[in-house]
Amino acid sequence: MSSPTASAPSPTTTPANPRSRVITASLVGTTIEFYDFYVYATAAVLVFPILFFPTGNETTALLASFGVFGAAMVARPLGAVVFGHFGDKFGRKATLVASLLTMGIATFLIGFLPTFNEIGLWAALLLLILRLAQGFALGGEWSGAALVATENAPAGKRAWYGTFPQLGAPLGFIIANTIFLLINFALPHPEGAAQRSEAFLAWGWRVPFLFSAVMVIIGLWVRLRLVESETFTKAEAKGAIRKFPLGETIRKHWWQLILGTFIMLATYVLFYLMTSFTLSYGTKAATETARSAAEAAGTPFDAATYIPGLGFGYTDFVIMQIIGVVFFGIFTLLSGPVADAIGRRKLLLWVTAAIAVFGLTFNVFLLPQLDPMFTGALVQAFLIFGFMLMGATFGPMGAILPELFPTNVRYTGSAISYNVSSILGAALAPIVAVALWAATGGQPWLVGVYLTGSAVLTIIALALSKETKDVDYDDNLGLGETGSL
């Protein structure tokens, strides 16, 4: 057992990375990465079904678009393995720079892609390749940012510091969707301000993808100023670094991989339901509105196969989402001090139980009412409650997943858990949600049951795990049988 002063920093020691640099590097990088990811998520609903997957059926086009969206989640575990290997073997800094560059280049190139009308199926194939590159990059980004934050955190504040890379998710969402809104507002709307314009579909959607280049330059400038964390350099000095971190992780920490994957599951499902699914459901026209539009356009309409939504205009609904995401950011930050005070596991058990209950309320909040204003109020309340829960569950993940693993495999272990969970949660969530929405003829209650089931699996994983609040990074380098501190 270590003495009370074994891991305490010397009062005269200056941190290798100043606090402001640690916070900025972990926050700015993930904000850019999530911005790039959300730009695609928004386009997957608004643009890609029309321009890249013109199947002739709105539901199948949306499913095809979400299929490519989900393909990135499959690439994320591969990114986790590759970036985790280099991050655990050679250090966090260079790995973080590489992941940011990969994501930025892929996103920038999407802004130049020709559409289906120009090159046919090649358009969808190129989009898929660049989407896979995005997923590959994000597979290494999150864990590196979380490690930069938590490995440089003062004693007793690791969960608080771990919320800063998490804050990149709501900030990236707000920036991405605000840019889409500004572009949409600036373009002409012959059919009404609430509708997408032809100019938006022709070229306006490309601007957010191209703008990512500016954000990447800023992120690189911040991250190149980092130095390696003292925890990693200590592991190097003690001979704890492994030639093949993945093998070490699977062989000695397989149980933590499983627990981490399912601890993250409900968070992923909740987030992608609150963003991608609700945007699809909220902006899909009601049956009578769609029938009238089809008659005016002289196109056939089959009410039996049409899946109705709430009929909000795109701009109106995205503004409602942004209001909800503000609460996401607030509760992400608030969750850190609470997790430091009472423990990560206890907080997450309570929050995940609340998510399970929330999943049973979808028909309470998301069915159209006689009064459109009452419908809007219910949907706004739903978005606020959902994003509050999202912040409370997402914030502690920046601490609990890295704390499951020792320093010499921390990047690999936390990255694999986080990103395998993305397949089970994020990749499937939009597709399963659309299928369940269609199966109920346009009602969302089965989608909520799906969220509740995911929350139950996360509660089981938390119940089987141990509290990690008091894990000492300096005493957990991963030396194994060769020594200990």
Q: From CA 288, how far away is CA 229, in angstroms rounded?
A: 60
Give tens-digit pLDDT for 26-65: 888 788 777 877 787 778 777 888 888 887 677 788 778 8
pLDDT for res 86 = 82
User: What span, in angstroms and rounded, lies between the C-alpha atoms of 255 and 341?
Assistant: 26
- Residue 103 is which amino acid? M
Is the pLDDT assigned to residue 14 strictly greater than 60?
no
Q: Count the Cβ atoms, other than its own, within 10 Å of residue 398.
A: 34
Distances (CA, A) of 350 to 9, 260, 357, 362, 435: 34, 17, 11, 20, 30
* Residue 10 pLDDT greater than 50, yes or no: no
Helix axes 121-151, 19-46, angle to 10 degrees: 160
| Interval 342-384: pLDDT, tens | 999 999 999 999 999 999 999 999 998 888 899 999 999 999 9
